[in-house]
A = this chain, B = another copy of it.
Amino acid sequence: MTAVESVGEFRFECGESVENLRLAYETYGEFDGSNAVLVCHALTGSQHVSNAPAGADHDDEVGDAVETAGQARAWWNDVVGPGKAIDTTEYYVVCVNVPGSCYGSSGPPADGPDGEPWGTDFPPVTVGDWTRAQRRLLDRLGVGRLHAVVGGSVGGMNAVDWAKRFPDDVRRVAAVATAPRLDTQCLSLDAIARRAITTDPDWNGGDYYGDDRPSPDDGLAQARRIGHVMYLSKASMGRKFGRRAAGRDAFGDAPDDPTGRFFPYREVESYLDYNAESFTGRFDANSYLYLTRAMDEYDLAAGYGSDAEALAAYEGELLALSFTGDWHFTVEQSRALAAAARDGDVPTAHHVVDSDHGHDAFLVEPEAVGPPLRAFLADGVDGRAVRDEDDDEPSGGGGGGPDRAPVHSSLFPG
């Protein structure tokens, strides 16, 4: 169950402050002083990472237990829980809803100082703000050094940011389906998604809260449709939906468009429409603007000369986990992240999962994600199920970057 903790005045990277930042979070398992694992959620995820039993602090220690309406379902229940890869009988798992989001933490739809929703008066947030806010909450929970930070997608940027910002505070960072920074193509699609929201008349400059006012559902739905295309691969979309017309029991509604009168409403449209519609019931349009801005802005090298320098002070180990069919956060980007970490003398593995599920793979392939994560949490990059991409390549296979071969040879002889 979600708890909410106030962590006091918080100054954001943009220079603006809020008087009392509230953070919604969940914990699972028992803290033994050295077994804390922070899990960072993706763009539209929440603190509700698992259906596992809540940690003890939720009963009485800190925070107010709350019910969060419309919350996303447990988004990594196959990976986090008793006996699962991130085993809540072994680790004390903490997941925090990032500031700017809409699942109970301070953000645009939450009440501001005047008792009205913040709206766009809420300070712009960055991934660094998320990291610093998480640090603040962990202090309240009595967690000093983390055993690990694990995150996927922009949550992976959040995880990597821990290694950059608090290099002594974490032993192991697992950066799943992520990148040191977003590429131009994805920046473009995010900008288009935001335009869909800001050109929806019901967005009204961000001022749409209140029961009697329409919310910008058309725009938010469009943003989500674009998102889903980014989360799937060409191959997985083709395999799942092909060019088939939707059946009678299709989810979603064909758009009211007379130019479609001779043409089928396709299964893939039905899928996108259904998901877009359910998304508008659980997410806030302004939060979508805030969080995509944070993701777009994230640049591991910012403040340093390079990614390697940003990671040079990090004392722990890094697992970069990537998926061959992911075009949102590509294998090449994870490779670059791993190379930078190695350049910064961080013990690193880049584990590539062969998958055509696209970016969604990190959510929908627990059988591929679980074993390396479990092994990395237990034994670091030397964990048995952690495979570095150079490990199993035939000599001269050329799959890894040419700059990697010497490092590989020395670390994994024979």
A222 & B238 in contact (Cβ 8 Å cutoff): no
| Also in contact, A194 and B255, with CB within 8 A (given A243-B184, A263-B296) | yes
Q: Who on chain B is nearest to A234 by CB?
A: B185
B222 & A195 in contact (Cβ 8 Å cutoff): yes
A234 & B184 in contact (Cβ 8 Å cutoff): yes
A188 within 8 A of B: yes
Complex interface: stretch among A75-83, A136-144, A199-207, A368-376: A199-207
**Closest beta carbon of chain B to A303's beta carbon, Å:** 15
**Closest beta carbon of chain B to A18's beta carbon, Å:** 15
Question: Number of contacting residues on A, CB 8 A?
Answer: 60
A183 & B286 in contact (Cβ 8 Å cutoff): no
A237 within 8 A of B: yes
- Return chain B residues, CB-CB under 8 Å to A189: 229
Which of chain A's residues 215-259 have a Cβ closer than 8 Å to chain B? 218-219, 222, 225-226, 228-229, 232, 234, 237-238, 240-243, 255-259
- Return chain B residues, CB-CB under 8 Å to A262: 13-14, 124, 126, 293
- Return chain B residues, CB-CB under 8 Å to A126: 262
**Closest beta carbon of chain B to A233's beta carbon, Å:** 8
A269 within 8 A of B: yes
Bound CA–CA A198/B253 (angstroms): 13
- Return chain B residues, CB-CB under 8 Å to A185: 229, 232, 234, 237-238
A407 within 8 A of B: no
A191 & B269 in contact (Cβ 8 Å cutoff): yes
- Return chain B residues, CB-CB under 8 Å to A20: none
| Majority DSSP secondary structure for residues of A touching B | helix
- Return chain B residues, CB-CB under 8 Å to A181: 243
**Closest beta carbon of chain B to A219's beta carbon, Å:** 8
- Return chain B residues, CB-CB under 8 Å to A124: 259-263
- Return chain B residues, CB-CB under 8 Å to A225: 188, 191-192, 195
| Also in contact, A255 and B195, with CB within 8 A (given A124-B262, A262-B14, A299-B243) | yes
Partner of A183, one of B238, B272, B327: B238
- Return chain B residues, CB-CB under 8 Å to A257: 194, 198, 206, 289
- Return chain B residues, CB-CB under 8 Å to A228: 188
Interface of A with B (CB < 8 Å)?
Answer: 13-14, 120, 124, 126, 181-185, 187-189, 191-192, 194-196, 198-201, 205-206, 218-219, 222, 225-226, 228-229, 232, 234, 237-238, 240-243, 255-263, 266, 268-269, 272, 286, 289-290, 293, 296-297, 299, 327
Interface pairs A-B: 7 shortest CB-CB: A124-B262, A184-B237, A14-B262, A120-B258, A259-B289, A199-B218, A185-B234
21 CB contacts below 8 A, A to B, read A13-B262, A124-B261, A182-B243, A184-B234, A184-B241, A184-B268, A185-B234, A187-B269, A188-B272, A189-B229, A192-B226, A194-B259, A195-B255, A196-B196, A198-B255, A199-B219, A201-B201, A205-B256, A243-B299, A259-B289, A263-B293
